[in-house]
Structure 1
Amino acid sequence: MPDVLDLLMGLDQAKLPEKKVKIKRLSKECGEPVVFSLRALPYNRVAEIKEASSEDMAIDILLAGVTAPNLRDKALLEKHHAPTPAELVKSLLLPGEIEDLSREVERLSGYRTATLEEVKKN
C-alpha cells in the first residue's frame, strides 16, 4: 500500500466541484431550459456564511454557490424590482427550489453526502 503522504504530495491544489442543474418550473414557464451553474464553496466561505448565521442561510449558500446566471446583475435586479440579490432569489424561486439549490451547493461542498469510508482489516 503506498504511503499516504506520497499520495498527497502528488496532488495539485483541489479544484472545486461544479455542476449544472435545470430548474424544472422555470424551464416550463420559459419554454427553454433554465440552467443554473453551481460550484462548491471553499472552507473559508462556508465559515463566513456560518458566522453571519442569518435567517436566510439557504439563500446565502445559494448566492455564494451559483456561478451562472449572475444573480447580482443590475438589469435583472431592476427587472424584478429587487433591491438585493437575496430579494431577487425570493421573487424568482419557490421556497423548495431555494432549498434544493442550496442543498446541491452543500453536497458539492462535501456536506449532506458520505465523504468517508471505513477501512476494514483483512
Structure 2
Amino acid sequence: MDVIDILLSNEPLKAEEKEYKIKRLSKVYKADVIFKLKGLSYNRVADIKNMNNEDVSVHIVLAGVKEPNLKNKELLEKYNAVTPAELVKKMLLPGEIEDISKAIEKLSGYRTNTIEEIKKK
C-alpha cells in the first residue's frame, strides 16, 4: 500500500486530548483539579504566535484548555478577573502556565520528535 492509499483509507485524525491534574490546586483544595487539554491546529498556533504579545503561553492555555471553561462568567467574577487571560494569571502560577502551555504544544505536535529518517540499506 502506498502513502496515498493509506491516507485515503483512513479517517482524518482529530486533535488529541488528555487530562492533567494541577498538583498545587489539587493539594490546596483537597480535591483533584483536572484540566482537559486539546491540541491546536496549525492556523490557531500561527494566530497566537503572530499576536506580538508577551503572553503567548497564556493564550496557548486559553486556546488549548477544553475544561474548565476559562471564559466562565462566574469563574471570572470569583477571581475578580476582567478577561480570561487575567483569570489564567490570577488562578495559576507562572510555572503552571508554562507547563500547561508546553503540554498543549506537545498535543499539537510541537516539542516532540515527530519524524524519523529512513536509512537506505
TM-score range, shorter chain: over 0.9
Alpha-carbon distance in 2 for matches of 1:71, 1:53: 22
Q: Identity across aligned pairs (percent)?
A: 57
Q: Number of aligned pairs?
A: 121
Aligned partner of 1:36 in structure 2 is: 35
Normalised TM-score (structure 2): 0.97
AA aligned opposite 1:3:
D
Residues 1-122 of structure 1: pairs in structure 2 closer than 5 A: 2-122=1-121
> Cα offset for 1:121?
1.6
| Equivalent position SS for 1:20 | strand
Report runs of 4+ in structure 1 exceeding 3 Å deviation.
none
Unaligned runs of 5+ in 2: none
> Cα offset for 1:50?
1.4
Unaligned runs of 5+ in 1: none
> Cα offset for 1:53?
2.6
CA RMSD of aligned residues (A): 0.8
Normalised TM-score (structure 1): 0.96
Alpha-carbon distance in 1 for matches of 2:12, 2:6: 13
Deviations, residues 30-55 of structure 1 (Å, cap 9, x unaligned): 10000000000011111111121311
Alpha-carbon distance in 1 for matches of 2:52, 2:99: 19
Alpha-carbon distance in 2 for matches of 1:95, 1:81: 18
